[in-house]
Chains A and B, each alone.
Chain A
Amino acid sequence: MAILEQRQKQVYTKGQSVFEMECNKPSLAGSVSQRACVFCGSRVVLYPIADAVHLVHGPIGCAAYTWDIRGALSSGPELHRLSFSTDLQELDVINGGEQKLYCALSELIDRYHPNAAFVYSTCIIGVIGDDVAAVCKKVSLEKGIPVLPVDSEGFKGTKKDGYRAACSALFKLTGQIPVDNMSQYSMNIMGEFNIAGETWLIRSYYENMGIQVVSCLTGDTRIDDIQRSHGAALNVVQCSGSMVYLAKMFEEHYGTPYLRVAYFGIEDMSEALYSVAKFFKDPEIMRRARELVREEVEVIYPKLLEYQQKLTGKRAAVYVGGAFKAFALVRALRLLGMKVVMVGSQTGNKDDYQQLRNICDEGTIIVDDSNPLELSAFLREQEVDLFIGGVKERPLAYKLGIGFCDHNHERKKPLAGFAGMLNFAAEIYSSVHSPVWRLSPYRQKSNQDAADKTDFQDSKACVFDSPTGFSRVYKNA
C-alpha cells in the first residue's frame, strides 16, 4: 500500500528526491482530503464582522455546520454568532430560491437593523439559477444598507477562491466615503480575525508604537471601519493566503502599499513590528517598537527557556490550512528546540513549498492536500511527539498516542503575539509531557520497537514500506 499514484508528486521528502512538488490542484476524488470548500474560505474572512447579517443561501447543512464554530471575538454586537439560512426545501430547488432569499433578507434586516448583509451562495445556487446579485441589489436599495453577494459556491475551487470572493465583497464597501483626519502613520491590520482576542493584542502593539489603526480586517471590525479603510497609509497583511487579494486591490485602486507579516512566534512577531516601523521611517516609532519588543520578550523569555529545556529534541509534525502559518509554526517550534519532521498545508502553492523546503531539515516530509491515511503514516514513520493541526487531525494523533496542539480558528486561547507564544509553548508542553501517553499501547510498542532497532535511522528512509503500514487489524481479530 502506497500513496495514491495521482498524489505521489504532492509528497516530498527533503534530501531524498528531486523537488518537483505538485500543488494548487483540485483534491483527488476518494482521497479523503482535509480541505473544506470555497464557502469555508469566504466564511473565514467575513465571519468576524459583527454588525452584519451573514445569510447562507442554500440547504441547511452549510449554515448549520458553521454556526458559532470560530472563536472570533467582538467587543460589541454579536450578529456574526447567529446562523442564518434560507434552508431551501425541495420546492425552492424546483422553483428557484430568489423569492425566499428576498423575503429572508428583508426579514433579517428589519429584525436586526444591521449595517450590512452578506449573502453566501452555496453549491446549488448557481445550478438552480438564482440571480443572487439582483436580489441583493434590490434589497440594498429598499433598505439603504450594503447587501453584498459572496460568490462562494463550494465546488468552484478551493478555500483560496473563497478568500478571493470575500475580498471582492469587502472591497465593494471601500472607497465610497471621503476620508480625512487620518494620521500619516495609519494602517489597516489585514488577515487577523480576532480568534481568542488576538487582534486586540496585535492592535495594542501597533497603537503603542504610535500608529493609528484605521480598521482590522476583519477581527472585531465594523462596517464603518471597513468603509474608511482606504484612508490608511499602509496595509499590513497577516496570513497572506487569505487577504493578500484585498491588499493588492487596495494597492491597485488606492495606491496603498502593503507588507506581509506573521504574528506567531517571537521572531515573526518582532519582525512584523520592525518592518512596519521601518516603513514609516520615523525614529520615534522605531524606538517604541524596540522598547515594546524588549519589554515583551523580557517577560516571556525566561519562561520560554524553561519550556525549551523540556521540549528540546522532541519531534513535531504540522498540518495546517495555509502555508504561511506553516512557516511561522516551523520557526516557533524551532525556538522551542523542537525538530519539525513533517509539514504540510491544504492550499500552499509552489513558491510556498519551495520556501518550506528551504527552511526545513533533511528528512522532513513536505505534503500538499494530505489525507488521514497519509498523515497517520507520516506520524508513525517520523516518530512524532507532537502534531499541530485542526479538529479533524486531532483524533489521528490521539489514537496513536501522540500529543496535539490545535492551531485552528476554533481554539479559545490566543496563540499570536508575545503572550500568545507563551500560551503556545504551554499548550505544547502540557500535551507532550502528559503522563497519559505512558499508558498508550501504541506508544509503548513503538518505544519498545525503537529500543530493539539497531538501525532505525535507516528504517525511516522508506516511509511507505513499513511493516505497520495500513494494515487492518480487525480482520485478524
Chain B
Amino acid sequence: MANCDEALKNASVVTTNACKLCTPLGACIAIRGIEGAMPMLHGSQGCATYMRRYVISHFREPIDIASSNFTENTTIFGGKGNLATGLNNVIAQYNPDLIGVATTCLSETIGEDLPSLIKQYQTETEAQKQPFIIPISTPSYRGTHINGFQTAVRAVVAGLAKEDLPQKQLNILPGLVSPADIYYIKEILAEYGLKYALLPDYSETLDGPTWDEYQSIPAGGTPIAAIQSMGSAVGTLEFGRTLDSGQTAGGLLQERFKVPNYLLGMPIGVRGTDQFFEVLKTITRQDMPNKYRYERGRLIDAYIDGHKYVFEKKAVVYGEEDLVAGLAGFLAEVGIIPVLCASGGKSGRLSQAIREAAPEIADQVMVQEGIDFMEIAEETERLGADLLIGNSKGYQIARSLKIPLIRVGFPIHDRFGGQRLLHLGYRGTGELFDRIVNAILAHRQEASPVGYSYL
C-alpha cells in the first residue's frame, strides 16, 4: 500500500462525526411528503431501519420505509425477484398510490438497473390497480441526504408532471425544511388565494395530529393530481442557491414544460424573505399581503430591540448548504458574523451562495464544504466563536467549549419539538432571533457572578 501522504493531501482521510447523512434518507423524507405514498429502499434491511430510527427520533411520528431485503443470493444474482416481492407486499399491505423506490449503495454497486426492473415489474404484473412506481437513484457514495432529497423530488416530477391540464397553478419546491416551515408557506400562499403544488409537503405526515382511526399511510402530503399539473404552472419557486439548477425538479419543469423557474435562497431574514415575496409578486402580480408587511415591521423592530446583544458576535453555522447560506444572510443583517459557514455537502457552490445572501460580510466568512464535526470543533475553537448555530449534532462542541448552541434544521435529537421549529419568513426569522438573543443572555447570566434577574 502506497504512502498515505499522497491520499491525504494534508486533510484527514477519516470522516469523524459526519456532518451529513446518506442519500436515500433524503429521498425517503421527500416521498413521505406525497399523499398516499410509501418509500421503499432497494437494498438491505439495515439501511431502512437505521433511517427510520433516525427520522423518528426527530419527528416523533411513525415513518414506515419498506426494503427489498437483499440477502447473499440477491447480492450475487440480482434484486429482480426481491424487488417484485417487495412491491407486491407493499401494495398488499399499504395499498399506496405511489411507491418511491430509492437505491442504496449495495444495489448501485452491484449495478442494478432499477428503472428497467420497475418497467419489467409493471408489464409482468397483471391489470389490477397499480400505484405509480418511481425509481430514484441514490447511491450514498455520491452526495448527501440533500442530493437524495432533490433527486427524489425531481424523479417524482419527471414521472408525473404533465402539460396542458386546464388549471394554472404555482409550483413551490422548498427543499428540506421543517414541517412548521411548510405549514407557514402554505399559510402565506393561502393568503394569496393561489392554487399551488408544494412538493414535498410532509407537514401533516411528519407533524400531524393524533389519530382517531388507524392510518397505515398518514393523512396529508402533496396530492398526486397537484404534481401532475405542475407542467402547466405559471412558475416554479425553488429554494436552493447551491442546487445545480439543471439537475433540479424546477430545472426539469423549465426545460420540459417551459415553466419559468425562480431559484431563490431559503427565505430567512428580511432580505431573504423580501426576495421571496418579490418573486410571488412577479408571478401573481399581487402585493405582499398586509399581514406579512406587518410581520416584517415587527421583525425589524425586534432586530432593533436586540441589536446590542448580538453585535459582532462570532457564530459558527453548519448543516445543509442552503440552510447555512440562508442563515448567513440573516446573521449579517443583525450584525452577527458567521465566521465559519460549514457543510458536509460538497456542491462547490456554497461560497457563491453566501456571497449572494450576505455580500457585506462575505470576506469575513470562512466557507468549508465537505467538513465533519471534528474539523468544525477545531475551527470553532481556533476562531474563538461565541455561538454555534446548527442541528443537535454540534452539542458536544458547544459543551466542551462552553458556548451556546442554537438548534436549527435537522436532526434535533436532544430537544423536544424539532419538527415544530420555524425558520422561514419574517415570522420564522423572528423566532430564530429571539432564540439567539436568549441563548446569549442565558449564557451571560449563567456566567455572571452577580446573577442578575433583570437583563
Contact = CB atoms under 8 A, between A and B. Distances in A.
Given A65-B51, A442-B210, A30 B87 contact: yes
Contacts of A64: 18, 20-22
Contact of B47 (A29, A63, A154, A442): A154
A472 B62 contact: no
B36 to A, nearest CB: 7
Contact of B52 (A29, A392, A445): A392
A470 B72 CA distance: 33
B106 A155 contact: yes
A98 interface: yes
A28 B89 contact: yes
A448 B236 CA distance: 48
A234 B301 CA distance: 71
B171 to A, nearest CB: 22
Contacts of A83: 16-18
Contacts of B36: 472, 474-475
Nearest to A3: B93
Interface in A49-76: 55, 58-67, 69
A89 interface: yes
B93 A373 contact: yes
B12 to A, nearest CB: 6
A453 interface: no
Nearest to B372: A87
B228 interface: no
B85 A65 contact: no
B111 to A, nearest CB: 10
A434 interface: no
Interface string A364-382: 0000000111001100100
Nearest to A346: B49
B46 A38 contact: yes
B105 A28 contact: no
A61 B2 contact: no
B53 A92 contact: no
Interface centre among A32, A380, A444 (most CB of B within 10 A): A32
B50 A61 contact: yes
A4 B85 CA distance: 11
Nearest to A93: B141
A123 B48 CA distance: 13
Given A28-B85, A37-B45, A60-B140, A474 B215 contact: yes
A36 B214 contact: no
A442 B69 contact: no
A108 B15 CA distance: 10
B4 A102 contact: yes
A37 B46 contact: yes
Contacts of A398: 60, 210
A82 B393 CA distance: 12
Given A441-B212, A474-B215, A61 B21 contact: yes
Contacts of A37: 44-47, 49
B14 A108 contact: yes
Given A124-B106, A468-B214, A474-B219, A106 B15 contact: no
A154 B45 contact: yes
Interface in A351-371: 371
Nearest to B204: A474
A53 to B, nearest CB: 9
A58 B110 CA distance: 15
B416 to A, nearest CB: 13
A288 interface: no
A103 B216 contact: no
A419 interface: no
A154 B51 CA distance: 14
Nearest to B8: A103
Interface in B257-299: none
A107 interface: yes
Contacts of A470: 93, 214, 216
B319 interface: no
A244 interface: no
B92 interface: yes
Contacts of B72: 155-156
B15 A107 contact: no
Contacts of B70: 123, 155
Contacts of B181: none
A128 interface: yes
Nearest to A26: B71
A84 interface: yes
B43 A59 contact: no
Interface centre among A26, A87, A92, A104 (most CB of B within 10 A): A87
A394 interface: yes
A100 interface: yes
Contacts of A401: 210-211
A468 B214 CA distance: 7
A128 B109 contact: yes
A113 B17 CA distance: 18
Contacts of A107: 4, 8, 12-14
Contacts of B12: 107
Interface in A378-405: 380, 390-392, 394-396, 398-401
Nearest to B83: A29
Interface centre among B13, B51, B71 (most CB of A within 10 A): B13
A433 interface: no
A376 B214 contact: yes
Contacts of B82: 29
B18 A59 contact: no
Given A102-B4, A395-B61, A442-B212, A32 B66 contact: yes
Given A103-B7, A107-B13, A468-B214, A372 B142 contact: no
Contact of B69 (A28, A55, A90, A106): A28
B211 A400 contact: yes
Given A59-B140, A395-B61, A473-B219, A36 B49 contact: yes
A212 interface: no
Interface in B59-83: 60-72, 74-75, 82-83
Given A60-B21, A90-B141, A155-B106, 5 more contacts: A59-B139, A85-B18, A86-B14, A107-B14, A445-B212
9 contacts: A58-B105, A84-B14, A89-B142, A102-B1, A103-B8, A127-B110, A395-B61, A399-B62, A477-B219
Nearest 8 pairs of A and B residues by beta carbon: A37-B46, A61-B22, A30-B89, A30-B86, A474-B219, A29-B86, A441-B212, A103-B4
